[in-house]
């Protein structure tokens, strides 16, 4: 098995063995397949047909669908954990999506890119153009990432949604992760909001 | 007990495999309250059943299909209706799987149906044949599967009405099926579906040659009515875009409009051909009965409309396939099944395949469908070993 993307590895570490998990935007199923080794009962939602086929051929239970429109059909609290990796910034209504995730799962594990990362800030400040980084490598007119935010912004949204941050990790650009104190994200100038390329959060409804 | 099926029409392709038929003496209880005894199921098998009888795949046919899924049709000589899906090396690989396909009860290709002889009076059943349902068809298939010595099917696969049967298998015999592949179908027939079927039935019954359903006694055949039924139905099997692309407003064998009512347009003559070739191979009363069975299909009915409850504690895995341009069984109806299964934590995958070919896409060359079914079945078989 190939190595998991760092944010997925961080999410995998948050999932208890034997848990029932829904991976929203599960891609080619790499995380769900990895979670099988922890006896996790995993399900996925994925928008791309090629990815769904890859998942089905892996023996994963994946439904072709769209986080923006299909989460409404899932009953409340049926999953121990719901995962949303590197996807919230591409949804049409991030707030509604997060509300649904918190309704469907007892825990929500979520990873996202940090638009407050210093390289992004510098690129806009110094270059005067929309930033393009390793994790956000799109022209502004072609990007699927229509709702980018900083980690501090995201923490604000979790409050709006009535969620508590159980765990938070910074994703560094060398591929490592480091535990962060969510309180350090309440102001946006310094700390992980400046130095982390992305973040991984474990949330629960307060 | 097993013999060759008798067909209503003579076999025209003597080289083709006519398959087998088994007659059960023990009655088949029907949803309408009546029972059929004895009753016959005509079927084909492909591939070899393995020693532990764990590689059996049942294929369920659609409204006008039959058991000749992967071999030449003995009456028409045409290749099997799902030759792209089933065969050696195909997604449903007969080198690995033992494939069974039977003609539904109420059909006209050797299984007991309205064109067969009613043992009580020696005449064709006609309208004395009991109205059968999708669960009845599945009940008969279960008897066949038991007859073949199989306790648990590796998979049940079917498109359209075949998909309804696959779902019914999961509902009726959850412990007898490991994997279920309903393609281009729904958990219930919609008002629009029923409406189109009623048009077809009324066309048949309006044909004077239908003779109140007793045409076999009078040596007539409601060919015109059945052809019209087929023409109307055929329109529902294709997408508007596919029709436009294939025919547009092109004229048939003429340079100008005729100002008469003979077929001017290619689409007209195409439909005429569809109708005419259909009446040669299909029984009009069978068409009435099978469309009725589809109309009556509503999987959630017994559960107060809660589709999820149908699948509670179901250990089978499901792979649901829909086509974007299918307006007869639109993706949203297919997805409803996936959501119901999700709600009870069943193992379900759902694939919505982009196609402009309409409902008929499931019978056509759709590489994504083949890849999905192949991958899903491979994994279902792999998990077993």
Q: Please give the structure tokens belonging to residue B227.
A: 């052809």
Instruction: Tell me: do B150 and B254 sit in the same domain.
Output: no
B311: domain CATH number is: 3.40.50.1820
Q: Do residues B150 and B47 touch, judged by C-beta distance below 8 A?
A: no
Specify the number of domains making up chain B: 2
The DSSP H or E segment spanning B242 is helix B240-246
Backbone angles phi, psi at A44, to 5 degrees: -135, 155
Q: Determine the residue among A48, A59, A69 to mutate to test chain B binding: the one whose Cβ has the most chain B Cβ atoms within 10 Å.
A: A59
Query: Chain A within 8 Å of B324 (Cβ-Cβ)?
Result: no
Residue A2 in contact with partner chain B when CB distance is under 8 A: no
User: B79 with B159, same domain?
Assistant: yes
Which residues of chain A does B380 touch, with a Cβ-Cβ cutoff of 8 Å? Answer: 59
Tokens at B148, concatenated: 């073949």
Q: Examine the domain organization and report whether B24 and B108 are in the same domain.
A: yes
Interface list for B 174-213 with A (CB within 8 A): none
Chain A: closest CA distance from residue B320 (Å): 9
Question: B370 vs chain A: nearest CA distance in angstroms?
Answer: 10
Q: Are residues B6 and B97 in the same domain?
A: yes
* Host domain of residue B17: 2-189+298-384
Same domain flag for B341 and B370: yes
Same domain for B184 and B198, yes or no, is: no
Taking the CA atoms of B243, B244, B245 and B247 in sequence, report the sign of the dihedral they define: positive
Assess whether B173 and B236 both reside in one domain: no
- What pLDDT sits at residue B211? 97
- For B50, B58, B62, B101, B203, the CA distances from B98, given in Å and listed in that order, are 8, 8, 20, 10, 40
Buried b vs exposed e over B58-67: b needs ≥16 C-beta within 10 Å? Answer: bbbbbbbbbb
Q: How many CB atoms lie within 10 A of CB A128?
A: 7
Task: Tally Cβ neighbours within 10 Å of residue A145.
Answer: 18
Tell me which residues of chain A have a pLDDT lower than 70.
Answer: 1-2
Domain-terminating residue out of B263, B292, B321: B292
Last residue of a domain, one of B257, B292, B327: B292
Q: Measured on CA atoms in the order B198, B200, B201, B207, is the torsion positive or negative?
A: positive
pLDDT tens for each residue of chain B, 385 residues long:
689 998 888 888 888 999 999 999 999 999 999 999 999 999 999 999 999 999 999 999 999 999 999 999 999 999 999 999 999 999 999 999 999 999 999 999 999 999 999 999 999 999 999 999 999 999 999 999 999 999 999 999 999 999 999 999 999 999 999 999 999 999 999 999 999 999 999 999 999 999 999 999 999 999 999 999 999 999 999 999 999 999 999 999 899 999 999 999 999 999 999 999 999 999 999 999 999 999 999 999 999 989 989 998 889 999 999 999 999 999 999 999 998 998 888 899 999 999 999 999 999 999 999 999 999 999 999 877 6
Nearest CA-CA distance, residue B334 and chain A, Å: 11
Confidence (pTM): 0.92
pLDDT score, position B10: 85
Tell me which residue in B335, B351, B380 faces A52 most closely, judged by beta carbons.
B351
Give the domain CATH number at B212: 1.10.1740.110
Q: Is B119 exposed, middle or buried (0-12, 13-18, 19+ CB in 10 A)?
A: exposed
Inter-residue contact B181 to B169 (CB < 8 Å): no
Do both B377 and B339 map to the same domain?
A: yes
Task: Compute CA distances A141 → A130, A134, A144, whole Å.
Answer: 10, 17, 9
CB contact under 8 A, B382 and A73: no
Cα distances (Å, whole numbers) of residue B168 to A139, B60, B311 = 50, 11, 10
Whether residue B347 sits in one domain with residue B302: yes
Can you give the residue ranges of every domain in chain A? 6-115+147-205
Contact B30, B82 (CB under 8 A): no
Q: What are phi and psi of B88, to 5 degrees?
A: -60, 125
Q: Are A178 and A169 in contact (CB under 8 A)?
A: yes
Q: What is the ipTM, given to two decimal places?
A: 0.82
Fold classification of A6-115+147-205 (topology level): Rossmann fold (3.40.50)
DSSP character string of B281-346:
T--HHHHHHHHHHHHH-BTTGGGTT-HHHHTTT---EEEEEEETT-SSS-HHHHHHHHHHHHHTT-
Whether residue B205 sits in one domain with residue B174: no
Predicted pLDDT at B75: 92
């Amino acid at each position: 098995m190939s190595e998991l993307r760092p944010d997925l590895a961080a999410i995998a570490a948050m999932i208890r063995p034997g848990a029932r998990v829904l991976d929203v935007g599960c891609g080619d199923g790499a995380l769900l397949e990895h979670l099988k080794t922890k006896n996790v009962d995993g399900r996925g939602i994925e928008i791309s047909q090629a990815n769904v086929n890859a998942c089905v051929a892996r023996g994963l239970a994946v439904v072709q669908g769209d986080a923006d429109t299909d989460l409404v059909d899932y009953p409340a609290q049926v999953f121990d954990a719901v995962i949303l990796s590197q996807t919230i910034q591409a949804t049409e209504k991030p707030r509604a999506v997060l509300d649904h995730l918190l309704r469907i799962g007892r825990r929500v594990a979520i990873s996202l890119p940090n638009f407050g990362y210093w390289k992004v800030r510098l690129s806009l400040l110094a270059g005067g153009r929309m930033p393009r980084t390793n994790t956000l490598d799109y022209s502004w007119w072609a990007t699927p990432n229509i709702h980018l935010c900083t980690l501090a912004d995201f923490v604000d949204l979790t409050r709006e949604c009535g969620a508590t941050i159980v765990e938070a990790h910074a994703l560094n650009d060398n591929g490592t992760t480091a535990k962060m104190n969510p309180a350090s994200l309440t102001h946006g100038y310094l700390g992980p909001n400046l130095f982390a390329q992305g973040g991984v959060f474990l949330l629960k409804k307060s | 007990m097993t013999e060759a099926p008798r067909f209503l029409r003579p076999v025209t392709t003597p080289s083709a495999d006519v398959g087998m038929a088994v007659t059960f003496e023990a009655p088949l209880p029907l949803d309408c309250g009546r029972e059929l005894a004895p009753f016959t199921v005509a079927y084909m098998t492909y591939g070899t059943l393995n020693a532990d009888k764990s590689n059996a795949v049942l294929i369920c046919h659609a409204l006008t299909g039959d058991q000749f899924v992967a071999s030449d049709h003995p009456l028409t000589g045409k290749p099997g209706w799902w030759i792209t899906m089933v065969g050696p090396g195909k997604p449903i690989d007969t080198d690995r799987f033992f494939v069974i396909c039977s003609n539904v009860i109420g059909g006209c290709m050797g299984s007991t149906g309205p064109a067969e002889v009613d043992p009580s009076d020696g005449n064709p059943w006609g309208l004395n044949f009991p109205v059968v349902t999708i669960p009845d068809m599945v009940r008969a298939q279960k008897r066949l599967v038991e007859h073949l010595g199989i306790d648990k099917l590796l998979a049940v696969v079917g498109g359209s009405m075949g998909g309804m049967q696959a779902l019914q298998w999961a509902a009726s015999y959850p412990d007898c099926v490991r994997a279920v592949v309903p393609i281009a179908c729904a958990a219930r027939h919609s008002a629009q579906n029923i409406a189109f079927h009623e048009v077809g039935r009324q066309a048949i019954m309006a044909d004077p040659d239908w003779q109140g359903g007793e045409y076999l006694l009078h040596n007539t055949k409601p060919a015109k009515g059945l052809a019209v039924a087929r023409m109307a139905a055929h329109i529902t099997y294709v997408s508007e875009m596919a029709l436009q692309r294939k025919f547009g407003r092109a004229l048939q064998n003429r340079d100008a409009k005729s100002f008469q009512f003979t077929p001017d347009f290619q689409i007209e003559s195409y439909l005429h051909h569809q109708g005419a070739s259909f009446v040669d191979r299909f029984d009009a009363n069978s068409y009435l009965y099978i469309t009725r069975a589809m109309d009556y299909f509503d999987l959630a009915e017994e559960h107060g409309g809660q589709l999820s409850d149908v699948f509670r504690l179901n250990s089978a895995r499901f792979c649901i396939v829909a086509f974007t341009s299918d307006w007869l069984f639109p993706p949203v109806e297919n997805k409803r099944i996936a959501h119901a299964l999700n709600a009870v934590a069943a193992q379900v995958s759902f694939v919505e395949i982009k196609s402009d070919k309409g409902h008929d896409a499931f019978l056509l060359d759709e590489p994504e469908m083949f890849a999905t079914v192949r991958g899903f079945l491979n994994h279902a078989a792999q998990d077993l070993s």
